[in-house]
Amino acid sequence: MRANSLALRLFLSATVWTVIILAVTGVVLSGVYRGAVERAFDRRLDVYVKTLIADIAAPDVPIENTGQMLGEPLFELPLSGWYWQVTRTDRGKPETTSSRSLWDRALPNLSDQDAPSDIDGSRKSYVQGPEDQRLRMLERNIDLGDEGLYLVAVGGDTAEIENEIAEFNRALATTFAVLAVVLLLITVFQVRFGLAPLNRISRGLAAIRSGRAEKLEGRFPVEIAPLARETNALIDANREIVERARTHVGNLAHALKTPLSVMMNEASARPDEALAAKVTEQTGIMRDQVMRHLERARIAARVAVVGTLTEVTPVVRALARTMEKTHHGKDLAIDVDIQAETRFRGERQDLEEMVGNLVDNACKWSAGRVSIEVMAEQAEPGRERVRIVVDDDGPGLSPADREQVARRGRRLDESKPGSGLGLSIVLELTQLYGGTLNLGTAPIGGLRAELVLPAG
């Protein structure tokens, strides 16, 4: 799941950056292309301007015949969007000659619009032409000496520029869209196969946790291999620490057992002495506390072991047979109902201790019938549970008594054999494994003990 989440984040990040980079690149390329188209358009206008200047400067060409050498039919069509205009400016009243396309209109003067001048003295800008056409206009002042001063202007419809740029933008957008799809497919391929080793590690760890494997196996890329090696080393170190803790717990139990037994025996030999009675009392408390903490340490060490699974059915059936033999003096019937084959995520001896205590308690108090039911359930996606229900037809317990029996060493009836530690041990083990123990009323009349544990 985490590997998939990482893959999704990488894919989304790659998608966002791909879109951003392509968008910025598209804007830059479109701007560069617009500049190139405008320069080409300006060169075309400049050719027309130079041709008009040549006509003006030719001594044998009347001013009214200016523009015949342009060879552009659009200058002859009224309001076509292509216009030229020549104005003599060295006389009191300017004399203007223009293309037929201008009809009775006139081009604006760029010098009046503060248009910047180039090195050669020409000015160019976008202006509003006849019929509200947007024109790209170029004008230049010409000094022909005795022939006079002239202002030559040529304007062309910018629809050609806009159409060409729009066509380029469409082609650019199509190209970049295809490129984006290709890049994203490549990203998906790289993310999927690049993170495949992490998915293998995730599945391997899940297999270790569920008990199907003991370590990460297989070959990994050089980038991932150190992670796999360190993970395996960590698992081995964990097992070694747990085993060492078990050994220390056992050694401590043996080291304390003998001195406590000697003190108990010595005190028991002097029953009439007050000191001996006090020693017996306190030694019993010490032994109970030592047993409690040693048992807790032993349980915690076993629970810490990764990847231990126990089949539930064999344990339950074996306990049922054992309890029938143990309580052979009673006319006892133990019914076992296995509704689903499941596995307990923990060690066999812990499962035997929990279920065994519950079944033994039910057998002690039952009138002759004990029922054991095993079910599998799924608390939430990815978390399976095993539910073990033990019922008896005995006298049962009131809600207040159910709270009392869970306390360590608490017995409601001293006539029954036992130390009173059974249910408290079950409760402690259950909590360490992350399970629950609930006591209630059985349908057959006695006590119901419902044990819920993690399954694998």
pTM for the structure as a whole: 0.49
- Please tell me the chain's helix, strand, coil percentages from 3-state DSSP, rounded to the nearest 5: 55, 20, 25
Residue-by-residue DSSP string for 135-151: EEEEEEEEE-GGG-EEE
Question: Which CATH number is 2-163 given?
Answer: 3.30.450
pLDDT in tens, the chain (456 residues): 445 676 677 778 888 888 899 999 999 999 999 999 999 999 999 999 988 888 888 766 666 666 667 778 888 899 889 999 988 888 777 788 888 888 888 888 887 777 788 887 889 999 998 888 899 999 998 888 877 888 999 999 999 999 999 999 999 999 999 998 998 888 888 777 777 777 788 888 877 776 677 778 778 777 778 888 888 888 888 878 877 776 777 677 667 777 777 777 877 877 777 787 788 878 777 777 677 666 666 665 555 555 578 899 999 999 999 988 888 777 888 899 998 888 888 888 889 989 999 999 899 888 889 999 999 988 666 678 999 999 999 888 888 777 776 554 444 444 444 434 567 778 888 888 888 998 888 998 889 999 999 887
Q: Considering the domain 310-454 in this protein, what is its CATH number?
A: 3.30.565.10
Side by side, the strands of the sheet bearing 369-380 are 333-338, 369-380, 383-392, 447-454, 436-441
Q: CA angle, 388 as apex, 384 and 393 as ends, to 5°? A: 160
What integer pLDDT is reported at residue 415 of this predicted model?
Answer: 40
Residues 6+ apart with CB under 8 A from 371: 334, 335, 337, 389, 390, 391, 392, 442, 444
Taking the domains of the chain in order of start, what are their residue ranges? 2-163, 225-303, 310-454
Q: Would you state the structure tokens that stand for residue 19, as one six-digit string?
A: 């879109």
- Integer Cα distance of 47 and 60 in angstroms: 21
Question: Residue-wise over 248-257: b if at least 16 C-beta within 10 A, else e?
Answer: ebeeeeeeee
